Structure 1
Amino acid sequence: MNKPLGVLVGIVVIAGALNTAGAWYTGTKIEDVLKTSIQEANKELASQLQGTTTHGTIELVSLDRHLYSSTAHYRVNLQDDSAGPDAQPVELLFVDNIEHGPLPWSRIKTFKWMPVMATSNYALEKTPFTEKWFAAAKDQSPLKGQVTLGYNRSVDGHMELLPLEATIDENSNVSFSGLTMDGQTDAEGKNLKAKGYMDHLILQAATPGQPPVRVELNGLTLASDLTKSAYGFYLGQNILELSEGQLTFGERQSVAKIKNFEYAGSASANGSLMSGRLSYTVGDITLDDKPVGSAQMVMTASSLDIPAMQSLLQIYQTKFQPQADGTMPVAQLTPAEQAQMQADVEKLLAAKPQLALEKLTLKTTNGESQFNVAVSLAQPTSFEQPPVEVTKQMLTSLDAKLQLSKPMIADLSAVQAQLAGQTDPQTIEKMASTNSEMAGVMAVQTGLAKVDGNNILASLNYAAGEVDFNGQNMTLEDFINVMVTRFGAGPDRL
């Protein structure tokens, strides 16, 4: 044997020995790691499902250890209380082929040579409950994935929902392209990143005596970048994008279609105060291939006291959680709960929260309408004061503006007539024009707005007890009296 070849063989032998030693060590530790991970997963599951009617648990059923790998079986139980007391829990079984580190073969063959503790290859198992799901996925496991656990307990995961074609009943069927998800998290799950993609989902359903309905979603992208806060929930960014959505409905089988839908949500915290932003955008809306328009909405909030919100949420979940039949319970708050709610509300207001609908825009072929409103709140000296005094102290400022386009109203009226089955172009145009003009007339007659050209305009500004309503200045008391007179027919209606 020549010297270079001997050196190479020596390296391979040493690497193999080290990998065997590492695999043996990992194999002795894997059960403790699994039990710890499952305990943490159950704790997190309980936290995320708190306040809902669903409960879930994960358990390790068995673990068969070998030198280079282990085989684990898990059971996932899900129970929905709203399904009634006789409903059986959903039970899912998973099999997991765990490759011991430091160099699992599945990573070596993909040129990932960084040492890791283990690589898990899991898959849903066939049971009487899941056999139809398996059949729809051509008898393959419809849910599978891989999770790599680093020695620092970081996790790198990949999950797949396989494509499926299924007939739900004689009138309903579903076509699903499959979905992939990738995610990474550090030890204890404090930082989480995830992304996913689905090509299409088509659901067709028909109820006897009713027109069929078809829902189609194309090009769905999901992404999250989150950090767990000191209060137990995640803050950060979430994004959902949909290339196209389509709904076919009604006797005429009208087709409503949206394109380029985007949802973006973000939240952050500064100490015990939280801020957030939600944005919804629809790039294009059509009905039966005729343009309707586009829309955008942006909402923001800041200086929200987190402990106070969590306390109020806890009371709501305890006392006002919907019952199994969907009805709201008739719950009486105890004196202690009433006192706690008042203290929480006062704490929320003491943080001087600010809430805003920054933008609500609807644009059609011939017009564009906009609305925005911003509110700032504060804690009143006492809630025992007259309502007007409480309002003056609690509402520190309000600013709202509305621009309603009459041509946009006409465009939407034409769409409404089309949905109602009207097909005559002249009739549709006349109805649209009438509705547009009537909106302007009613706005002026009620005194809520004024007409400027093709726009209906309204504005409301409040600060320090003074109101500016469409350019008219008055006190808050006078403004309330004006509204009561116009819509309540007198003070006796208060």
Structure 2
Amino acid sequence: MKKLALAVAVPLALFGAATFYTSTQVEATARDAVDQANLKLREMGVGAGADVSLTLLRFERGLLSSTARYQIDFSIPDDEGNDRQYSLLLNDRLEHGPFPVSRLARGQLMPVAAQSHFVLERTPLTQNLFDAAAGAVPLVGDVTIGYGGRQSGELRSAALDLKSEDGTVRVAPATVSFETDKDGRDVRLDGQLAAVDIDLHHSDSGRPVRVSLRGIGLTADKHDYDRGFGFGPSAFTLERMEIQAGDEPAVALQNASVDEVLSRGSHGLDQRIAYRVGEVTAKGQRFRNLALAFSLRNLEETSLRALVTSYRDILDSSATPQDALASMTSAQQQELQARALELLEHKPSLALDEFGFETAHGAARLSVVLDLQSPSAEAFTPDAMITSMLASLKADAGIDKNLVRDIAGLLAQNNQRGGQLDPVALQQETDAATELFSGMALNTGWSRLEGERLVSSLHYADDKVTFNGREMSVPEFLGFAFGSVQNAGLLGQ
């Protein structure tokens, strides 16, 4: 019997000791988390025109759980440049480890330091959100805090039905799952919002404006995050959006995304940002595979960090970024210029990797790559510095004549307002506009015809230009460009 009692007492004693020890550490963990959050918020907020900070107002420690109250302060400039202050309050209940009851109830047996359950507090500022949530709490969250400081959790917003004299906004419930290490260097995010419906009345015309969003997603997987740099991908996705004004046909957009990735390449840092839309429908015309992709390559990491640090220091020198840039001292300008020249010494590249779209009958594409270098020591004027900074340029463009016809038809349709469209007149106007554009592109020499596709190519290096296969000097190319534009009547008299 004594052995049985001892077998039960020892684990209970160990559990009690662990729980007591954890209870003494939770407050320090919470305060460290607040400090870390403020550091990250400051890094993200520099230059954004808004300041966000987090404050731990109260912490009451108990044996099995503690309570905390946080305040989130926002400082946002209004249209007149004055800062407006807003505050949100969060109430938090922290269950102490190693085995919080809520985790045991879900079958989660891994020991943790604490389990946080926080909710948005009702205040005059948030009262409209509580009303829109129809009795539910607009924002709640759960955060698991590991003994090593790692955190994971989920934020959830309630369904909201916001009403005002201008219209209504209905937002479906949303969730954001996240995971981060103690120092916030590794961060993962996964957010989902099913639907947003906006019904408004235009203040000037009184016509209704309806916006429908479906399938909003947000993901990020960043590592080695430090001073504004986080390696890895992030993305924003949207399955469908419709915009309708009055009785006009709706403009529909499907499968849109914004993708960003920062990585270490063989010659430095590479960053790529791509905007893509699967399909856009407007007035019976469909555009597919719209793309706008940029990249910065071969950015020497030390020089880039030094440039960013100098820029942040300048922004921090005044109350607002606008004031800081307007009142830059000569020493600050020289420091920023010196850091930029250091970056150029490593010959970075700036590229428009892809710009284009398709219709049912053709496609258009454009790409441009700029290789940069340190400006020449003999370059004393801004124009000369910019010219000497360009080591090489390569551009390629192509557009199908049938795509030109589709665009011309859409423009002609917009021009025929009022009454029924005249098919014959519409076709004539479309044909005339197509031939005018194609003829101008070919006659000026800016394009050449390959089959039914207008193509152009430009390459510059070593003070020589190759344009559509024709080699010339820079002055010759500039003379050709100015003369062709003037001859086409684009410069008037």
Query: 1:458: Cα distance to partner?
Result: 1.4
When residues 116 and 63 of structure 1 are mapped into structure 2, their CA distance, relative to the original with a 3 A threshold, is same
Does the 8 Å contact 1:272/1:307 carry over to 2? no
SS in structure 1 at match of 2:250:
strand
SS in structure 2 at match of 1:302:
strand
Letter of the 2:50 counterpart: T
When residues 245 and 309 of structure 1 are mapped into structure 2, their CA distance, relative to the original with a 3 A threshold, is farther
Letter of the 2:34 counterpart: I
When residues 221 and 192 of structure 1 are mapped into structure 2, their CA distance, relative to the original with a 3 A threshold, is same
**Separation in 2 of the partners of 1:421 and 1:214?**
25
Give the percent of matched residue pairs that are identical in Structure 1 and Structure 2.
26
Does the 8 Å contact 2:46/2:312 carry over to 1? no
Letter of the 2:298 counterpart: S
Unaligned runs of 5+ in 2: 488-493
Match of 1:146 in 2: 142
When residues 14 and 272 of structure 1 are mapped into structure 2, their CA distance, relative to the original with a 3 A threshold, is farther
Query: 1:226: Cα distance to partner?
Result: 0.2
Query: 1:481: Cα distance to partner?
Result: 2.9
Match of 2:86 in 1: 90
**Separation in 1 of the partners of 2:326 and 2:233?**
36
Match of 2:399 in 1: 404
Does the 8 Å contact 1:373/1:400 carry over to 2? yes
- Which shows bigger deviation, 133-142 or 415-424? 415-424
Match of 1:379 in 2: 374
1:165 aligned to 161, 182, 190, which one?
Answer: 161
Match of 1:331 in 2: 326
**Separation in 2 of the partners of 1:92 and 1:219?**
28
Match of 2:98 in 1: 102
**Separation in 1 of the partners of 2:133 and 2:202?**
26
Match of 2:120 in 1: 124
TM-score of the aligned structures, taking structure 2 as reference length: 0.89
When residues 330 and 388 of structure 1 are mapped into structure 2, their CA distance, relative to the original with a 3 A threshold, is closer
When residues 51 and 391 of structure 1 are mapped into structure 2, their CA distance, relative to the original with a 3 A threshold, is closer
1:223 aligned to 209, 214, 219, which one?
Answer: 219
TM-score of the aligned structures, taking structure 1 as reference length: 0.88
Does the 8 Å contact 1:51/1:321 carry over to 2? no
Does the 8 Å contact 1:82/1:323 carry over to 2? no
Q: 1:268 and 2:266 equivalent? A: no
SS in structure 2 at match of 1:365:
coil
Match of 2:472 in 1: 474
**Separation in 2 of the partners of 1:350 and 1:320?**
31
1:438 aligned to 418, 436, 456, which one?
Answer: 436
Query: 1:341: Cα distance to partner?
Result: 3.1
When residues 302 and 12 of structure 1 are mapped into structure 2, their CA distance, relative to the original with a 3 A threshold, is farther
Query: 1:452: Cα distance to partner?
Result: 3.7
Q: 1:370 and 2:368 equivalent? A: no
Q: 1:454 and 2:449 equivalent? A: no
1:257 aligned to 245, 249, 252, which one?
Answer: 252
**Separation in 1 of the partners of 2:48 and 2:227?**
19
When residues 291 and 391 of structure 1 are mapped into structure 2, their CA distance, relative to the original with a 3 A threshold, is closer
**Separation in 1 of the partners of 2:312 and 2:432?**
50
1:244-282 Cα deviation digits (max 9, x unpaired): 111112x54221111111222100246994211122221
Q: 1:197 and 2:188 equivalent? A: no
**Separation in 1 of the partners of 2:389 and 2:458?**
17
Match of 2:491 in 1: none
Match of 1:54 in 2: 50
**Separation in 1 of the partners of 2:113 and 2:176?**
22
Letter of the 2:109 counterpart: W
When residues 290 and 388 of structure 1 are mapped into structure 2, their CA distance, relative to the original with a 3 A threshold, is closer
Query: 1:418: Cα distance to partner?
Result: 4.2
Letter of the 2:357 counterpart: L
Query: 1:376: Cα distance to partner?
Result: 0.7
**Separation in 1 of the partners of 2:192 and 2:321?**
35
**Separation in 2 of the partners of 1:407 and 1:197?**
39
**Separation in 1 of the partners of 2:470 and 2:266?**
41
**Separation in 2 of the partners of 1:330 and 1:223?**
33
**Separation in 1 of the partners of 2:276 and 2:16?**
54
User: What is the number of equivalent residue pairs in this alignment?
Assistant: 480
**Separation in 2 of the partners of 1:203 and 1:150?**
41
- Which shows bigger deviation, 374-383 or 90-99? 374-383
Match of 1:492 in 2: none
Unaligned runs of 5+ in 1: 490-494
Letter of the 1:314 counterpart: R
Match of 1:283 in 2: 278
Query: 1:410: Cα distance to partner?
Result: 1.8
When residues 69 and 469 of structure 1 are mapped into structure 2, their CA distance, relative to the original with a 3 A threshold, is same
Does the 8 Å contact 2:447/2:455 carry over to 1? yes
When residues 385 and 96 of structure 1 are mapped into structure 2, their CA distance, relative to the original with a 3 A threshold, is closer
When residues 91 and 449 of structure 1 are mapped into structure 2, their CA distance, relative to the original with a 3 A threshold, is same
When residues 245 and 383 of structure 1 are mapped into structure 2, their CA distance, relative to the original with a 3 A threshold, is farther
Match of 1:234 in 2: 230
When residues 421 and 316 of structure 1 are mapped into structure 2, their CA distance, relative to the original with a 3 A threshold, is farther
Match of 2:424 in 1: 426
Q: 1:352 and 2:347 equivalent? A: yes
Letter of the 2:186 counterpart: N
1:197-226 Cα deviation digits (max 9, x unpaired): 111111121123322222211111211100
2:337 aligned to 339, 342, 345, which one?
Answer: 342
**Separation in 1 of the partners of 2:166 and 2:415?**
26
When residues 17 and 288 of structure 1 are mapped into structure 2, their CA distance, relative to the original with a 3 A threshold, is farther
SS in structure 2 at match of 1:159:
strand
SS in structure 1 at match of 2:477:
helix
**Separation in 2 of the partners of 1:244 and 1:435?**
32
Match of 1:413 in 2: 408
When residues 166 and 268 of structure 1 are mapped into structure 2, their CA distance, relative to the original with a 3 A threshold, is same
Does the 8 Å contact 1:308/1:348 carry over to 2? no
**Separation in 2 of the partners of 1:288 and 1:182?**
39
SS in structure 1 at match of 2:108:
coil
